[in-house]
Structure 1
Amino acid sequence: MGRPSKKEERTEEILNAFYRCVARYGMEGSTLERIAEESGLKRSLVRHFVGNREALETLLVDRVLEQSFQQWSTFIDAIPTKNGSEYLLEGLFSDQYSDAEYILVIESLIFCAGRDEALRLRMQEWMQRFTDDLTLVLRQEYSRADNDSLEAASFGLISLYFNLDSLAPLGMNQRYRQPARIAARYLIDSLSAEK
């Protein structure tokens, strides 16, 4: 297997820099100047390797969503058939698996989706997949719960998960990690009445 080309290496460096900038400054605040500075390249080289701003955004969205789907699929496939909700809580609310930078990038993409129809559709599909997968996991353990309750619990879990790491810029996500997990457990336990 050959060595990656200079273009591939530079594109990877630029995408990594863009990702970090989006986590820090949001999509709008991630200017080509900031991306160039973060990547250690001149702005003209950023444009040379990845093209215009629109091309760079498309590359980032493709990369973030693809990585997200891969990681999520691996996580979902590893959930045991018994007591899957405990595994789910550990994966969503454990400090070990927390990635505040990722959540901030995702939230920035969600915010931008309000102005970009194509991105909106992609982010809706992405969000629906999480909700559907969580509902399926909960349905295995709480088979008597009605679909509305399962979907409500799934949405609640997702909301708690995203909100928790969105507090990272305030330095408060660690403070609320345990309360978020307890609140998530309450949501799941509410399904027991229908189990």
Structure 2
Amino acid sequence: MGRKSLKKERQKEIIEAFYNVAKKEGLENTSVAKVAKELDVNNSLILHYFNSKDELIFGLINYILDNYKSLYNPNHSGDSRTKLISTINNLFSREWNSLIDDGVFYSSFALVFRNKAIQEAYKNMHQSLRNYLTEVIKEAQTDNVVEVENAKETAELIFILVEGSYYYLSLYDASTPVYEEKIKRYKKAALEMLKINEKV
């Protein structure tokens, strides 16, 4: 049991180092040797836990997913309305946008066009996030907080808006008023899709 935990801890350290190197040098320039140098260990230690760069990339995708999931709060103690609004606020926040470096995210995403396994991993990652939002919307539907017909379709549309927003906003400086203005407008559009019942 202890050994398994140690292995996971070591793998997490390696993935974090892989991410840090990719952030500084670009994913395409990141190698096992550079990750080993970042951690001040021998290459063989990295290869003991990950057989190849592709395995490191799979680990990175899971790392990205775990970071995104940290913005969700499935154990939220508030009511379904509070949970839903809190989730939308998180999706359209600086915190969401700053979780993962855009360069690393889009570089690893580009691999979906060349590697079916990476494509599947990304698809699963995106689906997991959509499933969570769907469940939050369904809870709000049950409590008559929202007036949407199809929770799954609404979650899908909100995520299309989120992903398109951040793709476009990556061209802007996040500290400018223009950025803030746009993100507020996109969040408002997401809330309008939900048709929140103000009387509940």
Q: TM-score, normalised on structure 1?
A: 0.69
Aligned counterpart, 1:75 = 73
Paired with 1:92 and 1:138, the residues of 2 have a C-alpha distance of 14
Matches within 5 A, 1:1-195: 11-48=11-48, 50-65=50-65, 67-68=66-67, 71=70, 74-78=72-76, 80-96=79-95, 98-101=97-100, 104-138=103-137, 140=140, 141-145=145-149, 148=153, 151-161=156-166, 164=169, 167=170, 172-175=173-176, 176-192=179-195
Aligned letter for 1:160?
S
- 1:146–1:178 distance in 2 versus 1, CA, 3 Å: same
CA-to-partner distance for each residue in 1:106-157, whole Å, 9 max, x for gaps?
Answer: 4333221211101111211221232343344345242244565564234213
CA-to-partner distance for each residue in 1:12-65, whole Å, 9 max, x for gaps?
Answer: 433221011233444322123432332233445544554433343343334444
- Compute the RMSD of aligned alpha carbons: 3.9
Secondary structure, counterpart of 1:173 in structure 2 = coil
Paired with 2:63 and 2:45, the residues of 1 have a C-alpha distance of 20
**Which structure 1 residue ranges, 5 or more long, are not aligned?**
none
Secondary structure, counterpart of 1:128 in structure 2 = helix
- 1:35–1:114 distance in 2 versus 1, CA, 3 Å: same
Aligned letter for 1:172?
D
Paired with 2:75 and 2:127, the residues of 1 have a C-alpha distance of 18
Aligned letter for 1:155?
I
Paired with 1:62 and 1:56, the residues of 2 have a C-alpha distance of 10
Aligned letter for 1:75?
N
Paired with 2:10 and 2:84, the residues of 1 have a C-alpha distance of 41
How far residue 174 of structure 1 moved from its aligned partner, in angstroms, is 3.0
- Contact 1:131 1:158 (C-alpha < 8 Å) held by counterparts: no
Structure with more helix by fraction: 1
- Contact 1:21 1:35 (C-alpha < 8 Å) held by counterparts: yes
- 1:69–1:180 distance in 2 versus 1, CA, 3 Å: closer
Secondary structure, counterpart of 2:81 in structure 1 = coil
Aligned letter for 2:161?
G
Aligned letter for 2:173?
M
**Which structure 2 residue ranges, 5 or more long, are not aligned?**
none
- Contact 1:23 1:105 (C-alpha < 8 Å) held by counterparts: yes
- Contact 2:161 2:186 (C-alpha < 8 Å) held by counterparts: no
- Contact 1:131 1:155 (C-alpha < 8 Å) held by counterparts: no
Instruction: Count residues with an aligned counterpart.
Output: 189
Paired with 2:9 and 2:155, the residues of 1 have a C-alpha distance of 44
- 1:80–1:154 distance in 2 versus 1, CA, 3 Å: farther
- Contact 1:22 1:108 (C-alpha < 8 Å) held by counterparts: no
